[in-house]
Amino acid sequence: MKFTKMQGCGNDYVYVNGFEEKLPEEKKPEIVRRLSDRHFGVGGDGVIFINPSCEADFEMEMFNADGTRSEMCGNGIRCVAKYVYDKGLTDSEHISIVSAGSVKYLDLTVEGKTIVSRGTVTRVRVNMGSPALRPEQVPVVAQGERAVDEPILADGREYRMTCVSMGNPHAVVFAEDVEHLEIQQIGPLFENHERFPRRTNTEFVKVLDRQHVFMRVWERGTGETLACGTGCCATAVACVLNGLTDETVTVKVLGGEILVEWDRERNLVFMTGPAVTVFEGEVEIDV
């Protein structure tokens, strides 16, 4: 099976062209776990299949590294956009991609375009839609219409979280010392907490100023990653809800920077960041 390794701010996935590679659905979780393994497979935070779609220009079918499905991936969807343009599956610099029934609209930045060259995509701006804030939409067990600065107990310690869904669940926790946070111990406590019926991604955030924050993320089904696009969006929304930043904020992650804008008037979140092809290859799989 042919594949392409791509990354957005270090959030790396194995991408498979679903137009050409046909795999049995029941085999995909096992194949994903094997491909994602950084010692015995290709290595990545998961696997994304790029498929034809009747709802949008393309479909993104995303799996976490543990073989579970996920609804949305902000860094992943930018790389899908780069893939379909760079591979000639589309000539448009404005495309739509559906993931788990939700359609997103993307604007591609193409560099190196000439009369004889179509150029390549370097950055992508994504309309991520409206953040979902009601507890049942996230979902999270909480009282009231929004879980903002909500207390939560984990391993006997109280934290304060703000919960947002950007198509997938997020719990944003503000802290002063994010750099030295023992995320390998704390992350799983949030991911598998009884208050999150579908588990959760967790962002630990330090506010630097009104336009900049630093974030580390524990991703559901994967662990700590170098970046999380939907997590950056959820972080920006949480910052605004708590009065900590402006509506446009640069989120610094371990793998780079992602710009997020929450247009409050239209209630739309826009995410802009890089998309990079790392390498391509072919791997033997048993189907």
Per-residue pLDDT reduced to its tens digit, 171-226: 999 999 999 999 999 999 999 999 999 999 999 999 999 999 999 999 999 999 99
* 79 is known as an active-site residue: no
Rounded-to-integer distance, Cα 253 and Cα 245, Å: 17
Tell whether 78 and 169 lie within a shared domain: no
| The pLDDT of residue 153 | 97
Note whether residue 61 is domain-resident. yes
| The pLDDT of residue 286 | 81
User: Reduced to 3 states, what is the DSSP secondary structure of residue 39?
Assistant: coil
* 228 is known as an active-site residue: yes
Tell whether 161 and 111 lie within a shared domain: no
Tell whether 93 and 32 lie within a shared domain: yes
Question: How much is the average pLDDT of 8-14?
Answer: 98
Structure token digits, residue 235? 């972080």
Tell whether 27 and 56 lie within a shared domain: yes
Tell whether 122 and 75 lie within a shared domain: yes
Tell whether 185 and 122 lie within a shared domain: no
| The pLDDT of residue 6 | 98
Question: How much is the average pLDDT of 58-71?
Answer: 97
Question: What residues are paired with 216 via a beta bridge?
Answer: 204
Taking only the tens place, the pLDDT of each residue in 72-127 is 999 999 999 999 999 999 999 999 999 999 999 999 999 999 999 999 999 999 99
Tell whether 258 and 278 lie within a shared domain: no
Tell whether 170 and 122 lie within a shared domain: no
Question: How much is the average pLDDT of 128-135?
Answer: 98
Note whether residue 48 is domain-resident. yes
Res. 287: pLDDT tops 90: no
Rounded-to-integer distance, Cα 219 and Cα 46, Å: 11
- The range of the structural domain enclosing residue 17 comes to 2-126+274-282
Question: How much is the average pLDDT of 223-233?
Answer: 98
Average pLDDT of the chain, as a whole number:
97
Tell whether 109 and 157 lie within a shared domain: no
Domain count, the chain: 2
Tell whether 183 and 102 lie within a shared domain: no
Note whether residue 229 is domain-resident. yes
Contact by Cβ (8 Å): 122, 113: no
Res. 270: pLDDT tops 80: yes
Res. 16: pLDDT tops 90: yes
| The pLDDT of residue 255 | 98
Please identify which of the residues 9, 73, 79, 232 carries the catalytic annotation. 73
Tell whether 119 and 158 lie within a shared domain: no
Q: Please give the backbone phi and psi of residue 180, each rounded to the nearest 5 degrees, phi first.
A: -105, 15
CATH number of the domain at 199, please: 3.10.310.10
| The pLDDT of residue 205 | 98
Note whether residue 143 is domain-resident. no
Residue 267 per-residue DSSP state: T
| The pLDDT of residue 84 | 98
Please identify which of the residues 228, 232, 233, 239 carries the catalytic annotation. 228
Tell whether 120 and 158 lie within a shared domain: no
Note whether residue 108 is domain-resident. yes
